[in-house]
């Protein structure tokens, strides 16, 4: 396969005909450059979509209730629907094998005070799993745990900005803060990628909130993370089934979106997936169109080159070159040119993408545009194939010219 | 070495066809120095192309080195050319971007000889034609006579059975013509069969046998004084 003499012949031929080699390489380099840029930009868009939801877990689901908007089973419109612990437990029992994380939520707005600093903040009462659903990262201390729930302890986890507001540079951990008149122990400080609002929140145990503020078993919302091993379609089916079951259980009209709704990230993910799929399809279509134009360009130039070299091929044949050696030589030359040129295009494209970096994120919604290793490998295969195609047609033609005709050519 | 019986060849021209060779019988033995004489259009180049396996014939038999040539595909013809035949053309037909040495070594490349060895052999042959010092020059740095001598070295490098020369002096002045013919004579003296095509009497006179061709038939076939003198 590897024939040093053949390569020597090819390098000599390319070297002696630099202009046309560069010209034919240029079309391919340009095509690959465009393809790389297009692909990188679309992957940048895709990254933006992904990071837009990065704040919450990808498998996030939320059960939310309000007032009925449709009469059902003799119950009136406008009835207030309330989620309770038994609903929470029902979900746990019924769908155990499809749920990764589960937490209830109660929303409160409390003033939190430390020494002379005080402010109003939103305080959320949650279960321990909530940390993973909101992708809360603990900077110091710990999150709410099961023992807090059992003991209904008055512990609080503060957002990074609350800590900053109240404590400044001093340590907050182990200090006591006044929350709506009661004293809570600061057990942790967290940060969140979701932005400033997310970091001006505080978390307390759900049982504490139920006991202290209402003395009931009400919860405002139930959030859960479905088992990430579920396919998107099965996750959507799970969400729909849970919604039906809950409506049935709570006597809500099957179509009453106002009374109860389940927001399922699987649906959003599927939508984004489809949208990105279409975008990628367009890129591949446009990209391969450009590439085909490039291949035809190389092929055209190779045809011209072969006309120019007809006499040379005639001489080679008279000296004993078999047709396949002529085809091999031309094809190999074409593969070499397309591969080198293509890689130049690819490298240039990757370089431009790295220069763009995140600079277009604000205005154009493009984040970290780049091409993956699999694309690079794929492009290599495509380049070699296109070199083969571009070279083969003209080479076959060259090999079929009779030596006497070729010798006569000038 | 070359045996031709009742050879016919015609070329299609539009709907009719041009009958170029009309029954040629020719027998060239090993070691002969033959020239084919004829004006343009006599069919001498066609004959050379057929003998050189660059073109096929329509009717008749052609034996090269005792082997009947029939239904050759391109590949087989190329291998036979490489093995048995060496070509010298009027317009030299050197590859312009290769040095004299590389041009001479090219047939050996197609024979499959290793690079080092073939460059060595090629240099020997360049030495033989007196151009050792010009080995690394490109063809356009050589004079016409030098180019033709490189071409002759290239024709000889594979040790062929026959050297076919198509108007080898056609593009040269008379002085360099003589030196090229002397070279061919030397080659012949070493036992090589040489087959020259020409329309110049002086060139033909330096060979040992002249075959005259007119309108596709052989009109005469006689030994020259040079042959009788031996």
Residue B210 has pLDDT above 90, yes or no: yes
Query: For residue A18, what are the CA distances in angstroms to A22, A339, A345, B103, B175?
Result: 6, 16, 18, 21, 39
Whether this model's pTM surpasses 0.80 = no
Tell how far CA A288 is from the center of its chain.
23
Residues of A in contact with B82 (CB under 8 A): 319-320
Q: Return the structure tokens found at A73.
A: 């089973």
**Contact criterion met (CB below 8 Å) for B220 and B211:** yes
Please state which of the ranges A124-128, A265-269, B98-102, B156-160 shows the lowest mean pLDDT. A265-269
- Closest residue on chain B to A16 (Cα): B97
How big is the CA angle at B100 (ends B99 and B101), to the nearest 5 degrees? 90
User: Hey, where are the domains in chain A?
Assistant: 4-52+271-408, 98-228
Is residue A206 within 8 Å of residue A125, measured between CB atoms? yes
Verify whether the Cβ–Cβ distance A322 to B54 is below 8 Å: no
Which residue, chain included where needed, has tokens 């030589």? A329
When scoring A10, A319, A333 by the number of chain B Cβ atoms within 10 A, the one with the most, hence best to mutate, is A319
**CA-based nearest residue in chain A for residue B55:** A404
Average pLDDT (A399-409) is 75
Q: Which two tokens stand for residue A70?
A: 């449709």
| Percent with pLDDT over 90 in chain B | 46
Q: Which is nearest to B54 in space by CA: B35, B74, B36?
A: B74
- Per-residue model confidence as pLDDT tens digits over B142-157: 998 899 999 999 999 9
A43 within 8 A of A369, measured Cβ to Cβ: yes
Q: Based on C-alpha coordinates, what's the Rg of chain B?
A: 17
pLDDT tens digits for range B5-61:
999 999 888 888 888 899 999 999 999 999 999 888 888 888 988 998 888 888 899
Residue-wise pLDDT for A353-386, tens only, equals 888 776 666 666 667 777 777 777 777 787 778 7
pLDDT at B105: 93
Question: What phi, psi does A228 have (nearest 5°)?
Answer: -65, -10
Evaluate if residue B84 carries a pLDDT over 60: yes
Query: Do residues A177 and A133 make contact, with C-beta atoms less than 8 angstroms apart?
Result: no
Integer Cα distance of A240 and A83 in angstroms: 18
User: Looking at the predicted structure, is the pLDDT value of residue A55 above 70?
Assistant: no
Instruction: Name chain B contacts of A404, Cβ cutoff 8 Å.
Output: 49, 54-55
| A402 chain-B contacts, CB cut-off 8 A | 54-55
Identify which of B132, B138, B131 has the alpha carbon closest to the alpha carbon of residue B179.
Answer: B131
A316 contacts in chain B (CB < 8 Å): 95, 106, 110
Cβ B97–A403 below 8 Å, yes or no?
no
Model pLDDT for residues A272-303, shown as the tens digit of each residue: 788 888 888 888 888 778 778 877 877 787 77
Do the interacting molecules here have an ipTM over 0.85?
yes
Confidence of residue B208 (pLDDT cuts 50, 70, 90): very high
Q: Which residues of A touch B89 (CB under 8 A)?
A: 407
Name the nearest CA neighbour of A337 among A9, A8, A24, A3. A24
Contact B109, A351 (CB under 8 A): no
Q: Could you tell me the fold of the domain covering B30-53+74-229?
A: Rossmann fold (3.40.50)
Q: How far is A331 from chain B (nearest CA, A)?
A: 18
Tell me the domain boundaries of chain B: 30-53+74-229
Q: Is the pLDDT of residue A1 over 60?
A: no
Q: Which residue has the higher pLDDT, A34 or B150?
A: B150
Region B121-139 average pLDDT = 92
Encode pLDDT of A103-125 as tens digits. Answer: 999 999 999 999 888 899 999 99
Per-residue pLDDT of A236-281, as tens digits, reads 899 899 999 998 888 888 888 888 888 888 888 888 788 888 888 8
Query: To the nearest whole angstrom, how far is the Cα of B179 from the nearest Cα of chain A?
Result: 24
Write the residue in B75, B82, B115 that is nearest to A319 by C-beta: B82
Q: Cα–Cα–Cα angle for B163, B166, B167, nearest 5°?
A: 125
Q: B210: distance to nearest CA of chain A, Å?
A: 25
Whether B93 and A407 lie within 8 Å, measured CB to CB: yes
pLDDT-based confidence at A207, cuts 50/70/90? very high
Range among A385-394, B80-89, B220-229 rated most confident: B80-89
In Å, how far is B19's CA from the nearest CA of chain A?
Answer: 18
CA distance A34 to A337: 18
In chain B, residues 140-179 whose CB comes closer than 8 Å to chain A: 154, 158
User: In the predicted model, what is the mean pLDDT of chain B?
Assistant: 89
Q: Express each pLDDT in B60-79 by its tens digit.
A: 999 998 889 887 888 888 88
Cβ–Cβ of B110/A324 closer than 8 Å? no
Among chain A residues, the shortest Cα distance to B53 is held by A318
Are B89 and A13 an interchain contact pair (Cβ–Cβ within 8 Å)? no
Quick one: average pLDDT of A313-327? 87
Judged by CB atoms closer than 8 Å, whether chains meet at A325 and B74 is answered as: no
Q: What is the predicted pLDDT for the residue at B15?
A: 84
Neighbouring CB atoms inside 10 A of A374's CB total 8
Which of left, alpha, beta for A13 (phi over 0: left; psi -120 to 50: alpha)? alpha
Judged by CB atoms closer than 8 Å, whether chains meet at B87 and A318 is answered as: yes
In the prediction, which pLDDT does A361 show? 65
* pLDDT at position A206 over 90: yes
Cβ B109–A318 below 8 Å, yes or no? no
8 Å CB contact of A404 and B49: yes
- Are B49 and A316 a contacting pair at CB < 8 A? no
Q: Is A220 exposed, middle or buried (0-12, 13-18, 19+ CB in 10 A)?
A: middle
The residue of chain B nearest to residue A406, with distances taken between CA atoms, is: B54
Under an 8 A CB cutoff, do B110 and A320 touch?
yes
DSSP string, B128-192: HTT-GGGTT--GGGS-HHHHHHHHHHHHHTT--SEEEEESTTTTS-HHHHHHHHHHHHHHHHTT-
Q: Distance, in angstroms, between A345 CA and closest chain B CA?
A: 29
Q: How many Å lie between the alpha carbon of B229 and the closest alpha carbon of chain A?
A: 35
């Amino acid at each position: 396969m590897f024939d040093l003499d053949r390569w020597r012949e090819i390098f000599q031929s390319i070297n002696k005909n630099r202009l046309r080699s560069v010209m034919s390489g240029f079309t391919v380099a340009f095509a690959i450059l465009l393809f790389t840029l297009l692909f990188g930009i679309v992957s940048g868009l895709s990254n933006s979509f992904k990071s837009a939801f990065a704040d919450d877990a990808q498998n996030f689901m939320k059960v939310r209730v309000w007032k009925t908007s449709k009469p059902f089973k003799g119950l009136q419109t406008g009835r207030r629907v309330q989620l309770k612990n038994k609903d929470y437990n029902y979900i746990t029992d019924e769908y155990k094998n499809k749920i990764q994380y589960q937490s209830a939520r109660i929303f409160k707005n409390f003033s939190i005070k430390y020494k002379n600093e005080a402010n109003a903040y939103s305080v959320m009462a949650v279960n321990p799993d909530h940390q993973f659903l909101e992708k809360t990262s603990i900077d110091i201390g710990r999150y709410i745990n099961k023992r807090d729930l059992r003991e209904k302890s008055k512990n609080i986890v503060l957002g990074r900005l609350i800590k900053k507001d109240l404590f400044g540079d001093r340590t907050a951990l182990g200090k006591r803060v006044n929350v709506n008149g009661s004293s809570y122990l600061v057990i942790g400080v967290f940060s969140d990628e979701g932005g400033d609002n997310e970091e001006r929140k505080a978390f307390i145990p759900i049982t504490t909130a139920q006991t202290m503020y209402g003395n009931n078993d009400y919860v405002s919302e139930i959030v859960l993370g479905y088992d990430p091993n579920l396919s998107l379609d099965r996750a959507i089916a799970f969400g729909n089934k849970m919604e039906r079951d809950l409506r049935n259980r709570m006597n809500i009209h099957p179509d009453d979106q106002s009374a109860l709704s389940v927001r399922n990230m699987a649906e959003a993910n599927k939508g984004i997936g489809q949208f990105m799929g279409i975008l990628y399809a367009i890129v591949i279509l446009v990209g391969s169109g450009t590439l085909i134009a490039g291949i035809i360009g190389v092929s055209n130039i190779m045809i011209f080159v072969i006309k120019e070299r007809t006499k040379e091929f005639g001489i080679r044949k008279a000296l004993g070159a078999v047709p396949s050696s002529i085809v091999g030589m031309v094809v190999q030359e074409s593969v070499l040119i397309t591969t080198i040129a293509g890689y130049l295009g690819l490298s240039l494209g990757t370089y431009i993408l790295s220069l763009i970096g995140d600079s277009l994120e604000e205005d154009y919604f493009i984040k970290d545009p780049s091409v993956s290793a699999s694309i690079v490998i794929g492009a290599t295969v495509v380049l070699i194939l296109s070199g083969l195609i571009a070279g083969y047609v003209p080479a076959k033609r060259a090999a079929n010219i009779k030596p006497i005709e070729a010798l006569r050519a000038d | 070495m070359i045996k031709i019986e009742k050879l016919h060849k015609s070329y299609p021209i539009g709907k009719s066809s041009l009958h170029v060779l009309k029954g040629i019988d020719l027998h060239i033995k090993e070691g002969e120095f033959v020239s084919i004489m004829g004006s343009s259009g006599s069919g001498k180049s066609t004959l050379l192309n057929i003998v050189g396996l660059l073109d096929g014939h329509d009717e008749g038999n052609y034996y090269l080195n005792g082997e009947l040539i029939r239904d050759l595909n391109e590949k087989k013809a190329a291998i036979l050319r490489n093995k048995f035949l060496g070509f010298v053309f009027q317009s030299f037909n050197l590859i312009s971007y290769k040095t004299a040495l590389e041009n001479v070594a090219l047939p050996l490349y197609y024979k499959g000889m290793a690079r080092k060895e073939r460059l060595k052999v090629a240099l020997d042959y360049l030495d033989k034609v007196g151009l050792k010092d010009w080995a690394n020059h490109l063809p356009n740095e050589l004079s016409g006579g030098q180019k033709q001598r490189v071409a002759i070295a290239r024709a000889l490098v594979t040790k062929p059975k026959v050297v076919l020369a198509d108007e080898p002096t056609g593009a040269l002045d008379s002085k360099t013509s003589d030196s090229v013919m002397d070279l061919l004579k030397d080659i012949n003296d070493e036992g090589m069969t040489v087959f020259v095509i020409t329309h110049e009497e002086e060139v033909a006179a330096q060979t040992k046998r002249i075959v005259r061709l007119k309108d596709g038939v052989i009109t005469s076939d006689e030994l020259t004084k040079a042959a009788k003198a031996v």
